[in-house]
Amino acid sequence: MSLPPEKASELKQMIHDQLCKMDVHGRIREVLAETLHEELGLESQHLSEEDLMKALRRRGIIDDVVKELNFEMHHQEVTTTPKLPTHFVDREPRVLKRTNIDPSRRYLYLQVLGGKAFLEYLQEPEILPGQVCSTFNLCVHFRNQRFRSKPVPCACEPDFHDGFLLELHRDSLGDGCKMADATTMLSICDPVHMVLVRTDTSGDTTLVASYFLEWRSVLGSVNGTTNLAVELLGVGTECKVSVGILNIKLELYPQINQTLSQEVVRTQLSLERQRTAEKERLFLVYAKQWWREYLQIRPSHNTRLVKIFAQDENWINRPVCSYVRPLRAGRLLDTPRQAARFVNVLGYERAPVVGGGGKQEQWCTLLAFLCRNKGDCEDHANLLCSLLLGYGLDAYVCIGTKAKDIPHAWVMTCSTDGTIIFWESLTGHRYIHKPINPDDPPLVEQPKPLYPYRTIGCVFSHQRFLGNCQPSDAVELCMFDLYDESKWKPMSEEAIKSVCSPGSTTSLPPCPSLCASMIDAAAVSNEIELQLRVLVSEHRKDLGLTTIWDDQLSYLLSPALAAYETERTTGISAGNEEFQDAIRRAVPDKHTFKGFPIHFLHRNARRAFVTCLRSSFCEEIICCRGDQMRLAVRVRAFPYPESACAVWIMFACKYRSVV
């Protein structure tokens, strides 16, 4: 017996409500604690799922749940669901992972138990069953562990009910088999970074809030449990405006034998804040002195784009070097060029501005950028530089201008042989820099720059910051010998390290690792292709034309799409000869073949179709008339980490030429 999706959703909600009513989660935690401490003993290293199920059956909890869930299907109605946020379509179902709990490790169980006072959504209309609506996702990062909540509909009181098990213990905190005690945990200054993202019905994402949770208050709580009401503030120019409140419960597991006093915890946090403030004050004093010295070199330096500090999404000034850190992609990305392609696939969006006034500059922390899947040119450049540093390259972020004096950021790598390569993070293109010597005679042929950059004010990495002090800041005239202090004025590496190295200050945002893609490339490709076929058929029907699809011709377009993506990644074109030969064999004599490839960074078929119709050549293919006319369309999705995706589409037709 199968249920329609809306009925299945109602059934799941009824079961969930009944479990909450019986406090099954609390009873399971009690059984889990008793089983660990009383039955398994310290000699056991892992608690399996089978052990837990036996303990639950022995205490009759499973029987109680089954008895309480006796209900008849025909009594279910939509109105029986107690909360509106149960009715929505989750287009990316969660993949649940099972894991054994290691009793020798210490965990922080962070539960999000609903939200309130999200006043922007106070007037939201009632959500109908099965209706697609805007959703919230809460992303959590702690000590290189990343989690994402299930999507919940946007509402004044969003129905968050998620738990995240964060591992506190690390081998670096002591012996591998020794449990981290309260004093050791008090020394862990990493905050829990929480990012709230809204996804609208078209799949477009918006950064709502970014919050750093100080979790160590739980170390001084009775029974190792504490409840918090966390107020989320907006981002950018709205950083002083409350977005909403999350109800959060923190619980240590296993419980610590001896809790710390609240006074000890407060004193530790206060000392850390004082040390951080003092380091930041000293760096600011040094930066001001460096800037005064830089202006003394040449008065025109005052107009150059030398950016020492940048504001993040919470409107906090941070040294630009803190936005870059060597980032290893593991097995998700194999080469620096593939990393450049991944960064290029992430969406580009300038920081939103309420009203006019030009560009609003806002750099994002890495987690906020990855969770939103889009950002400004500075966000792309910081991520690409971090990845290239992870591959062992000598990489720097460049701050300057492009055409029409528009501020811009890109990446530069310095090879061991002195070759300077510019990487455009928004397109993935690479350019070799060949400087022009203005002192050469007029007859000497000078290289023509292919890159779009005009001026450069400074370059920086995670360890170095250098201001351009050459007579001209034009990129084509600049020399990039970064160790020549007559051309590039450096900042003290020790000063940068004092505020930008990992663990140097408690205010430094932790650097997350990349997550593997959750996209099924074949399923996404098939879905978009079927939707495009329907859209094309309807469009031609409105024009009074019939549509006949050629499946074989559609299949033959696949190698071309794969070759296009390979060329974008590696810069090398391959496989074109085989594709052309296959098309020649598939198109009979006296027939004409036309093809139109196009590339998108989203997965919305209707948006893609509207864009394609703006091209006169593509419209000519879609609306083609002719004898024995056959249409073809092929879609190929190429997934990348963080669920980024490049989509290639090719429309084609063949018909008999009639003179």
Q: What is the pLDDT of residue 502?
A: 83
Identify the three-state secondary structure at position 567. helix
pLDDT, one tens digit per residue, over 379-388 is 999 999 999 9
Q: What is the pLDDT of residue 214?
A: 94
Identify the three-state secondary structure at position 407. strand
H helix and E strand count, the chain: 16, 23
Higher pLDDT, 374 or 170: 374
pLDDT, one tens digit per residue, over 579-624 is 999 999 999 888 899 999 999 999 999 999 999 999 999 999 999 9
Least confident of 105-109, 504-508, 573-577: 504-508
**What CA–CA distances, in Å, run from 74 to 7, 18, 51, 77, 78?**
11, 18, 37, 8, 12
Please spell the DSSP secondary structure of 436-499, one letter per residue.
Answer: --TTS-TTSPPPPP-S-EEEEEEEE-SS-EEEE-SS--BGGG----TT-TTTEEEPPHHHHHHH
Whole-number Å distance between alpha carbons of 537 and 49: 52
Are the C-beta atoms of 564 and 570 separated by less than 8 Å? no
At residue 484, does pLDDT exceed 70? yes
Are the C-beta atoms of 569 and 337 separated by less than 8 Å? yes
Least Cα distance to 339 among 323, 325, 327 occurs for 327
User: Which structural domains are found in the chain, ordered by start?
Assistant: 5-69 (no CATH), 107-170+178-260 (2.60.40.150), 275-500 (3.10.620), 521-656 (3.40.33.10)
* Model confidence band, residue 314 (pLDDT cutoffs 50, 70, 90): very high
Please work out, in degrees rounded to the nearest 5, the angle formed at the alpha carbon of residue 347 by the alpha carbons of 345 and 351. Answer: 150
Are the C-beta atoms of 447 and 436 separated by less than 8 Å? yes
At residue 9, does pLDDT exceed 70? no
**What CA–CA distances, in Å, run from 538 to 137, 534, 553, 595, 650?**
35, 6, 21, 20, 18
Residue 653 forms beta bridges with which residues? 594, 631
- 603-609 long-range contacts, Cβ below 8 Å, gap at least 24? 603/203, 603/524, 603/528, 603/637, 603/645, 603/647, 604/202, 604/203, 605/527, 605/528, 605/531, 605/532, 605/535, 606/531, 606/535, 607/202, 608/528, 608/532, 608/647, 608/649, 609/532, 609/535, 609/536, 609/539
Provide the 10 A C-beta neighbour count for residue 342. 23
What secondary structure letter does DSSP report for 179? P
Helix axes 377-390, 336-345, angle to 10 degrees: 160
Identify the three-state secondary structure at position 378. helix
Q: What is the pLDDT of residue 90?
A: 47
The contacts of residue 375 (CB under 8 Å, 6+ apart) are 346, 347, 348, 349, 364, 369
pTM for the model = 0.81
Helix axes 558-570, 576-586, angle to 10 degrees: 160
Q: What is the pLDDT of residue 83?
A: 37
Whole-number Å distance between alpha carbons of 400 and 406: 8
- Would strands 591-600 and 644-656 be described as parallel, antiparallel, or unpaired? antiparallel
At residue 81, does pLDDT exceed 70? no
pLDDT, one tens digit per residue, over 123-164 is 777 776 667 888 999 999 998 899 999 999 999 999 999 999
Q: What is the pLDDT of residue 91?
A: 46
The contacts of residue 383 (CB under 8 Å, 6+ apart) are 327, 343, 346, 366, 369, 370, 425
pLDDT, one tens digit per residue, over 177-207 is 567 788 888 988 899 999 999 999 888 899 9
Are the C-beta atoms of 565 and 630 separated by less than 8 Å? no
Q: What is the pLDDT of residue 103?
A: 75
Least Cα distance to 510 among 149, 171, 186, 191 occurs for 191
Whole-number Å distance between alpha carbons of 323 and 79: 49
Q: Which helix (H) or strand (E) holds 167?
A: strand 161-167
Please work out, in degrees rounded to the nearest 5, the angle formed at the alpha carbon of residue 603 by the alpha carbons of 597 and 605. Answer: 70
* Residue the block writes with tokens 């879905």: 527
- Strongest mean pLDDT among 64-73, 563-572, 633-642: 633-642
pLDDT, one tens digit per residue, over 517-560 is 999 999 999 999 999 999 999 999 999 999 999 999 999 999 99
